[in-house]
Amino acid sequence: MPDEGAVISMPVLTAQEREMLRVESFIFHAVHHGRPAPTLFNEVPIGDFEQFFVGRVIDTLKGNRFTFNDRSTTLQALRDIDADPAMFVAVSKELATAFHDDDGRFKQGILIVLSLVTNGRRLYSLIKYDYGDRVLGVVEQDAVALLTAVAKPLTENKKSLQKSALIELSEAGGDLVVIDHSERSGITNFFRDFLEVTRSHSDAEMTTALTKSLLRTIQAHAAELPDEIATGWRQKLDGIVRRRQNFDEDQLFADLFGAHGSEGIKDTYDMQMVTAGLDGQSFRFNRDALPIVGPQKFRTTEGIEITVPEAAAGTFEKVKEGNTYVITIRTNSVVLK
């Protein structure tokens, strides 16, 4: 997990970069339509639908974070395009062929491949749209007609976007944000194996980051919160985790703060989620990573005993440095007893 306060690595676009985002190259191929091989195209003009697809790419920014495995063939394919943009169509066909693993589980649709530019940066997007039986008849006629036929119902039902990955390449590999509606808390085995990626951080790491973000939020608004939240939020969080398996940003805020979740508290909460890189993420809570409920008691090898009440847990820190521990307690006063 990154250092406290650091952002989980991912493609991030400022408001200005989102405004400037443009499609550089665009194509799609028909997949999962019951044939042994995908239906491949040499050209698919994007026409009047550029802003629609740019919008879907921006939607993907709120997804789960992944990193490429070292020998990912999808990563290498995108590197090939990056090195020679003239390879875009040929490489997109390779990607569609690899994606087209039709064993009857998947709905008929199209695999869209885009390269996009903004403010000197290049990003890539891979999108699987589910469509329906109408694709086959149009696929065999005209790629331009297919785009028109496909895009119209998609604008009416954006949930047809079944899987989406937004990628920014780097020297170390690439950072990805992934949305997979078949497995909201992560990624399906199929899409993971196609991309050849690993979740950037474990459920335990993200649960730990979440509790730190909640602590900062509650500390910032302790004066306006009732004791049941200001001092009892850990017990409340433990109860929420027992009821719900997965983290959902908005649901957790409602569960934890309820009627006390003012606009100011929500703003702080949202800011902390962004700072921790948890905004838009979904993951399975790891109860073992939750803060201990109740007072914590410690005894050092020197015989020093420390009791930390639950309400003061945020003032206590224990960090291992080599073979020793450094214990820090932040307080406004100390009384000799």
Confidence of residue 155 (pLDDT cuts 50, 70, 90): low
- Mean pLDDT over 135-146 rounds to 57
Q: Which helix (H) or strand (E) holds 85?
A: none
Residue 220 has a pLDDT of: 96
Residues in contact with 269: Cβ distance below 8 Å, sequence separation at least 6, in sequence order:
213, 214, 217, 253, 257, 261
Residues in contact with 98: Cβ distance below 8 Å, sequence separation at least 6, in sequence order:
73, 74, 194
Residues in contact with 111: Cβ distance below 8 Å, sequence separation at least 6, in sequence order:
28, 29, 31, 38, 95, 96, 99, 100, 126, 127, 128
> Does 162 have pLDDT greater than 90?
no
| pLDDT, greater one: 15 or 34 | 15
> Does 45 have pLDDT greater than 50?
yes
- Mean pLDDT over 151-168 rounds to 75
> Does 105 have pLDDT greater than 80?
no
Residue 55 to residues 47, 88, 122, 125: CA-CA distances in angstroms? Answer: 15, 22, 16, 12
Distance of CA 249 to the CA centre of its chain: 12
Can you say whether residue 303 is alpha, beta or left, with left for phi > 0 and alpha for psi between -120 and 50 degrees? left
* 63 touches 179 (CB < 8 A): yes
Residues in contact with 19: Cβ distance below 8 Å, sequence separation at least 6, in sequence order:
none
- Mean pLDDT over 323-329 rounds to 91
| Look-up of token digits 């740019």 | 54
Residue 297 has a pLDDT of: 79
- Please state the pTM of the whole predicted model: 0.74
- Mean pLDDT over 189-213 rounds to 92
User: Which of 9, 173, 172, 170 has its CA nearest to residue 75?
Assistant: 173
Confidence of residue 315 (pLDDT cuts 50, 70, 90): confident
pLDDT digits (tens, 9 = 90+) for 207-227: 999 999 999 999 999 999 998
Instruction: State the Cα–Cα distance between residues 134 and 138, nearest whole angstrom.
Output: 7
Strand, helix or coil for residue 155? helix
Residues in contact with 311: Cβ distance below 8 Å, sequence separation at least 6, in sequence order:
231
> Does 173 have pLDDT greater than 80?
yes
> Does 5 have pLDDT greater than 60?
no
Residue-by-residue DSSP string for 178-231: EEETTSTTS--HHHHHHHTEEESS-HHHHHHHHHHHHHHHHHHTGGGS-HHHHT
> Does 135 have pLDDT greater than 60?
no
Residue 1 has a pLDDT of: 42
User: What is the percent of the chain with per-residue pLDDT over 90, rounded to a whole number?
Assistant: 46
Can you say whether residue 205 is alpha, beta or left, with left for phi > 0 and alpha for psi between -120 and 50 degrees? alpha
Retrieve residue 21's tokens.
């985002």
pLDDT digits (tens, 9 = 90+) for 61-101: 888 889 999 899 999 999 999 999 999 999 999 999 999 87
Confidence of residue 44 (pLDDT cuts 50, 70, 90): confident
How does the average pLDDT of the chain come out, rounded?
A: 85
> Does 2 have pLDDT greater than 50?
no
pLDDT digits (tens, 9 = 90+) for 225-274: 998 899 889 889 988 998 998 999 999 999 999 999 999 999 999 999 98
Confidence of residue 4 (pLDDT cuts 50, 70, 90): very low
Confidence of residue 141 (pLDDT cuts 50, 70, 90): low
* 314 touches 4 (CB < 8 A): no
Residue 136 has a pLDDT of: 46
Retrieve residue 175's tokens.
């950072």
